[in-house]
Amino acid sequence: ARSAPPLRSGLLELELAQPSQLNLESTSGVRTSLRNASGSLSLPLNGGFRLRVQPPPGPADQVNWNGEPLQAVKGQAGVFAGP
């Protein structure tokens, strides 16, 4: 029997200058929905995730995974996916 691949764990970090709506879901069961959120947020996550930020982050905002900038899903501004 094959074993399941190990979950990729890491740290999702957000720095938002403007009030934004956040929706986060992860394969490990984390579900978060925030309205009018601004400032910084750090969340340790295991497994894959999908994050939606509305309005999409601007030049003054940051979305990082394990300290590296996370790029939006191609063709979907404000949508980010982790490993």
Which tens digits make up the pLDDT trace of 10-55? 999 999 999 999 999 999 888 999 999 999 999 999 889 999 999 9
Given a cut of 60, is residue 5 above it in pLDDT?
no
What is each CA distance from 64 to 2, 5, 7, 59, 68, in whole angstroms?
32, 23, 18, 13, 5
Assigned token pair, 81: 């996916």
CA 61, CA 51: separation in Å to the nearest integer? Answer: 14
Q: How many other β-carbons are positioned within 10 Å of the β-carbon of residue 26?
A: 19
pTM: 0.86
